[in-house]
Amino acid sequence: MTHAERIKDLASIQGVRGNPLIGYGLVVGLDGSGDQMRQTPFTQQSLTNMLAQLGVTVPQGTNMQVKNVAAVMVTATLPAFSRPGQSVDAVVSSMGNAKSLRGGTLLMTPLKGVNGQVYAMAQGNLLVGGASAQARGSSVQINQLNGGIIPGGAIVERSVPTVYARDGIINLEFNTTDFGAVQSAVAALNRQFGANTAQALDARVVRVKGPVDPAAQSLFISRVENLEVKLPAARARVVINARTGSVVMNRSVTIDEAAIAYGNLSVVISRDTQVSQPDTPLAGGQTVVAESTQIEMRNEAGSLQRVNTSANLADVVRALNSLGATPQDLLSILQNLKSAGALRADLEVI
């Protein structure tokens, strides 16, 4: 079975990438939910330095007890081909003990790249998706309150040169390592643009000869990205998440005929507190509290189930559902099927 996908969904162009940015700043305007200065001295130091830059001198040794300020880390991604003046989203995360950033405003924060140079400046009002309420010692909270986003809150100040073609040579980097997908892409490119246009360097990179003129490269890359490639069926794989008990499999998974027996053994431990009091309170007796622990083992009998050979994903799901196993039982069953050679798929546990 084959299916067609566009090259832009399978690969990216070498050199066209984003660059991560990071910065440290202050969020103000919080409703008493900011950092506690005694426990976060870096917030007080940052506030003192900021006020000094604005011409406000704070006497040395002053213990400021403001509650509406929080120290935060600001991150962003500088997209490829970004130019000064364009805006990108900024993600703001608390690094102190602030209770909430809701309603806060990020002050001007320089965002630096890995080389220490400033590439963007972030500032603006935070958008926090969570909410909380409390009264008389009781509280309720929805989602996370110590992080938020400023849509378009970072202004690009410096661009990063993006080089994706040298003498008309463009490298396509596929998202996964697959010799079959690479060869199919090479064949499709050579049929569309002529022989020797594309060449596979390995199982992940395809070299494409494009026009040398930079003005024509954009149109050429657009045609390359939208070219559809016929791919063979994906490699059969079953992914098991042992922490959540979830199982995901693709449509190439098949199973051979097998017999499966499974059962459950559970141990139940219960603890009960018993109180013994004297019949007459004036007889000098004492109230005695004793704990009683009971341990019970339950063994559910398992039965031998037959699983027929399957040819597609629907048959696999139907066969596994016929066992009546829980998701946790299914994890062990799939592992045992793989060991017995009846599961025709790669088993990956995450």
pLDDT, position 76? 97
Look-up: residue for tokens 């007889």?
283
- Give the pLDDT of residue 94: 93
Domains of the chain: 2-14+163-232 (3.30.1360.40), 19-156 (no CATH), 237-349 (no CATH)
> Which H/E stretch holds residue 121?
strand 118-125
Check: CB of residue 78 under 8 Å from CB of residue 158: no
Where helices occur in 128-233 by DSSP H, the ranges are 179-193, 214-225
Is the Cα dihedral 153, 155, 161, 162 positive or negative? positive
> Left if phi > 0, otherwise alpha if psi is -120 to 50, otherwise beta: which for 84?
beta
What is the pLDDT, as a whole number, of residue 205? 94
Rounded Cα gap, residues 136 and 275, in angstroms: 33
Residue 318 is predicted with a pLDDT of 73
Residue 343 to residues 186, 196, 236, 238, Cα–Cα distance (Å): 33, 41, 10, 9
Among residues 245, 240, 264, the alpha carbon closest in space to that of 343 is found at: 240
Measured in Å, how far apart are the chain's first and last C-alpha atoms? 28
Note down pLDDT in tens along the chain; length 350 residues.
567 889 999 999 999 999 999 999 999 999 888 888 777 888 888 888 888 888 888 887 777 778 899 999 999 999 999 999 999 999 999 998 888 899 899 999 999 999 999 999 999 999 988 666 565 566 666 667 889 999 999 999 999 988 899 889 999 999 988 888 899 999 999 999 999 999 999 999 999 999 999 889 999 999 999 999 988 777 888 888 877 778 888 888 888 877 777 665 454 545 566 767 666 655 566 777 666 656 565 555 556 566 677 766 677 777 777 767 777 777 777 888 888 888 888 888 88
Q: Which residues pair with 231 in a beta bridge?
A: 3
Q: Tell me, what's the pLDDT at 262?
A: 66
Q: According to the model, what pLDDT value does residue 270 have?
A: 57
**Alpha-helix runs per DSSP H in 131-240:** 179-193, 214-225
pLDDT at 306: 67
pLDDT computed for residue 177 by the predictor = 87
CA-wise closest residue to 72 among 124, 129, 26: 26
Residue carrying the six token digits 């109180």:
275
CA-based nearest residue to 104, from 32, 170, 42: 32
E strands of 17-104, at which residues? 19-28, 70-78, 87-94
Tokens found for residue 288: 């005695």
pLDDT given at position 135? 58
- Residue 267 has a CB neighbour count (10 Å cut-off) of 8
CA–CA distance, 104 with 130 (Å, rounded to integer): 13
Q: Which pLDDT value is given to residue 282?
A: 59
Ordered alpha helix ranges (H), 226-323:
313-321
25, 107 Cβ separation under 8 angstroms? yes
Cβ neighbourhood burial of 138 (10 Å; 0-12, 13-18, 19+): exposed
Q: Given this model, what pLDDT does residue 38 score?
A: 77
Under 8 Å between Cβ of 132 and 101: no
